[in-house]
Amino acid sequence: MLDAKDAVRHLVGLQAQNTRPPYYSLAARLEGFDPLELSRLMASREVARIVTMRSTIHTLTADDCLALRPLVQPVIDRELRLFLKRLPGVDAARVAELARVFVAERPRPLKELRELLLKEWPDADPQALATVARCALPLLQATPRGLWGESGQVALTSSGAWFDRPEPVFSPEEAGEVLDATVLRYLGAFGPASVKDMQTWCGLTRLRTAFERLRPRLLTFRDEHGTELFDLSDAPRPEADTPAPPRFLPEYDNLLLSHADRTRLVPPEYKMRTWCGNYAYCTLLVDGLVAGIWRLEESKKADAATLTIEPFGRLTRAQRAEVTEEGARTLATLTSAAAQDVRFGEFYGTQGR
């Protein structure tokens, strides 16, 4: 059985645009998960929140924070170039040089970092300055941000300063080795998958060469559309009729974002139901497929918590019972409220939510 740290490592990080999804992700995957276990790992600096895959925030082990950030830097550079267009005359290398000094002294709240950088470029766009610093440097979010049951503003420091370890600089050969190892780990977490699937997951392009290098070590298949899929030779491949119990996934869970072809998890008739604009809802899986959305509402004053489920279609009596049982387990894991209730609501569409 995996513990929280092993699970974070196995999944090559947890999507963490918000602070709670990493906890929800592990609650859905680990039997007996205690949110304080992940929180303690964050407090002890064994895991941290940093921008990596797809230029979005992930919760990663310390080793992966250090290794994966330079691997996906080309993805982050695309964002950097966009913000540099809003900063005529500003040198990104100089922004990085100054920001590194500032965050080495102590983690800096975004507002403070912006104000410090504005002393050098008083007429510049402050948000763009801070974003360029975040893109040019491996800046992570220091605790208490992200700790379970605690609150804290975003305060940034460098991965090297936070972990008290040198930030790696890879030679082309070393970068190739890191990429190959990451391909294997991606397949271990999300395979069988195509080259395009992994590119969707991490944001990198032109990964075909890495897959070809690894081809002798992999098994290949074809899906119903003829797309070539790769997988580890020793990966488990359950039979099609293997039961898949209900699971409550957070918004932006990597299970849903790690394939170019999401019909493997999202029935075509439900394609746009888990999103509203740029906002994603928490999703319910039934029999391994997206079947609804859910939300958790807590009232400290009433010492109560309610998990409301909105199925997209009709659930059988057996499915409803299983979903209710899993909802109760999820509630017990994620809240200590004295009164806990699992409710079913009607799905009326995502507009206006």
- Would you call 206 exposed, middle or buried from its count of C-beta atoms within 10 A (0-12, 13-18, 19+)? exposed
Could you tell me which residues come within 8 angstroms of residue 314 by beta carbon, excluding any fewer than 6 positions away? none
pLDDT at 238 over 60: yes
CA dihedral 230, 235, 237, 238 (to 10 degrees): -150
- Residue 152 has which token pair? 């804290």
Cβ–Cβ < 8 Å for 146, 49: yes
Locate all alpha helices (DSSP H) within the chain, ordered by sequence: 4-10, 21-29, 35-43, 62-71, 73-84, 92-105, 110-118, 126-136, 159-163, 172-190, 195-202, 208-214, 254-257, 317-334
* pLDDT band at residue 128 using 50, 70 and 90 as cut-offs: very high
pLDDT at 231 over 70: yes
Give dist(CA 154, CA 114) in Å, integer. Answer: 13
pLDDT at 5 over 90: yes
pLDDT at 10 over 50: yes
Average pLDDT score over residue span 191-200: 96
* pLDDT band at residue 182 using 50, 70 and 90 as cut-offs: very high
pLDDT digits (tens, 9 = 90+) for 334-347: 999 999 999 999 88
pLDDT digits (tens, 9 = 90+) for 131-178: 999 999 999 999 999 999 998 899 999 999 999 999 999 999 999 999
223: helix, strand or coil:
coil
Average pLDDT score over residue span 23-47: 97
Give dist(CA 309, CA 331) in Å, integer. Answer: 12
Instruction: Give CA separation, 311 vs 266, 286, 348, in Å.
Output: 13, 10, 10
pLDDT at 352 over 50: no
The pTM for the full model equals: 0.94
Instruction: Give CA separation, 173 vs 55, 184, 210, in Å.
Output: 24, 17, 12
Q: What is the pLDDT of residue 349?
A: 66
pLDDT at 258 over 90: no
Q: Which residue has the tokens 């965050």?
A: 103
Average pLDDT score over residue span 105-120: 95
pLDDT at 116 over 90: yes
Q: What is the pLDDT of residue 237?
A: 87
Residue 139 φ/ψ, nearest 5 degrees: -90, 135
275: helix, strand or coil:
strand
Average pLDDT score over residue span 196-218: 97
